Amino acid sequence: MALGKKTGGRQKGTPNKENPLKGYLRAHSLAYFEPRVQTDPITGGSREIQRQRLVQDEEGNVYKVIDLIPLTDHTSGLPLTISDFEADMIALSPNERVNAELRLLEFHTPKMKTVEVDMDVRGSVTTIEDRLRELCGETDEDDD
């Protein structure tokens, strides 16, 4: 800086340039969390999601089973109005859902840091009564 005056660059208050890629990603992310009616784009009916689970039979063989979960309201039978994020969370197994929630929680809670305290306490133990007497200007001899 020359003599405390601005000699180049943007003027004060000029906004940053808009990045088209960042704008697209932001809009896509917002749409992912916005509630919408969960309909199948091909059939127009209620959307179904797949949840995989492992099943073991009596002989010890392990099979992968895919359950189809309809995203419908149980009372009316109409498609649910939920976000795609919520639908994806329903598709996860309980273990995967907990792991996803914990990983997302890291972005919303501050990290705790360890604090080391090196203290050296010297002195006598003072009771509240002693401290009050000291503040009032009284001594133990005055009590007699």
Torsion sign, CA atoms 75, 81, 86, 92:
positive
Question: Is residue 72 situated within a structural domain?
Answer: yes
Classify burial at 127, counting beta carbons within 10 Å of its beta carbon; exposed 0-12, middle 13-18, buried 19 or more.
Answer: exposed
Question: Is residue 23 situated within a structural domain?
Answer: no
Q: How high is the pLDDT of residue 45?
A: 86
Dist. CA 51–CA 89, nearest whole Å: 10
Q: How high is the pLDDT of residue 56?
A: 93
How is residue 104 written in tokens? Answer: 């997302």
Q: Considering only CA atoms, which of 62, 80, 63 is closest in space to residue 71?
A: 80
Q: From its phi and psi, is residue 11 left (phi > 0), alpha (psi between -120 and 50) or beta?
A: beta
Question: Is residue 56 situated within a structural domain?
Answer: yes
Residue pair 48/71 in contact (Cβ under 8 Å)? The answer is yes
Residue type at 111?
K
SS3 content of the chain, % helix, strand, coil (to 5): 35, 20, 50
Q: How high is the pLDDT of residue 16?
A: 85
Residue 61 backbone dihedrals phi, psi, to 5 degrees: -75, 140
Question: Is residue 44 situated within a structural domain?
Answer: no
Q: Residue 66 belongs to what domain range?
A: 49-112
Where are the strands (E) in 43-144, listed by range?
A: 48-56, 62-70, 81-82
Q: How high is the pLDDT of residue 140?
A: 62
Question: Is residue 96 situated within a structural domain?
Answer: yes
pLDDT means per 10 residues, the chain with 144 residues, are 70 86 89 91 88 90 92 89 92 91 88 82 80 82 54
Question: Is residue 105 situated within a structural domain?
Answer: yes
Rounded to two decimals, the pTM is: 0.56
Q: How high is the pLDDT of residue 116?
A: 85
Question: Is residue 80 situated within a structural domain?
Answer: yes
Residue pair 111/118 in contact (Cβ under 8 Å)? The answer is no
Number of domains into which the chain is organized? 1
Question: Is residue 41 situated within a structural domain?
Answer: no
